[in-house]
């Protein structure tokens, strides 16, 4: 079963599931939520935000100027929450199948967790 959001969309929606955030705050939340294992460049973030907004998964949710710099905020839409829930279910299914196959092959049990994911 293939996932549809990809790592970038997954982590952005995960960050926004906790409430509205501006771009830099999304990057910090992704870093914290992934324990530093998901690295995302600013250009990747903003391209993904545009795509997620165009797809109706998130929406722009205001702007403010702080220290002379504009901060644009984003919030998750109901469709984004549903997409994130579907992605989580798909990933859980994939992990369960992989663990079953590894156990059947006599390999050691796979511990939950993940390796470093670099997101260009």
- Residue 114: count other Cβ atoms within 10 Å of its Cβ: 11
pLDDT at 1: 39
pLDDT at 62: 95
The C-alpha atoms of residue 41 and residue 55 are separated, in whole angstroms, by 21
Q: What is the model's pTM?
A: 0.84
pLDDT at 107: 86
Give me the tens of pLDDT residue by residue for the chain, a chain 120 residues long: 345 799 999 999 999 999 999 999 999 999 999 998 888 999 999 999 999 999 999 999 999 999 999 999 999 999 999 999 999 999 999 999 998 999 899 887 666 665 544 454
Tokens of 35: 């324990």
Could you name the CATH architecture of 6-107?
Orthogonal Bundle (1.10)
pLDDT at 56: 97
Q: Helices 23-33 and 42-54, interaxial angle, to 10°?
A: 100
**What are the residue boundaries of the structural domains of the chain, listed by start?**
6-107
User: Taken in order 14, 42, 8, 36, is the CA torsion positive or negative?
Assistant: negative
pLDDT at 28: 96
pLDDT at 77: 98
């Amino acid at each position: 079963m293939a996932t549809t959001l990809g790592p970038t969309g997954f982590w952005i929606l995960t960050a926004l599931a906790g409430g509205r955030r501006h771009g830099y705050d999304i990057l910090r939340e992704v870093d914290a939520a992934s324990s530093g294992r998901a690295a995302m460049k600013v250009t990747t973030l903003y391209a993904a935000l545009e795509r997620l907004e165009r797809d109706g998964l998130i929406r722009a949710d205001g702007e403010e100027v702080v220290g002379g710099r504009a901060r644009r905020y984003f919030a998750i839409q109901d469709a984004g929450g549903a997409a994130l829930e579907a992605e989580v279910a798909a990933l859980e299914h994939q992990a369960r199948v992989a663990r079953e196959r590894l156990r059947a092959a006599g390999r050691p049990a796979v511990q939950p967790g993940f390796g470093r994911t670099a997101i260009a």
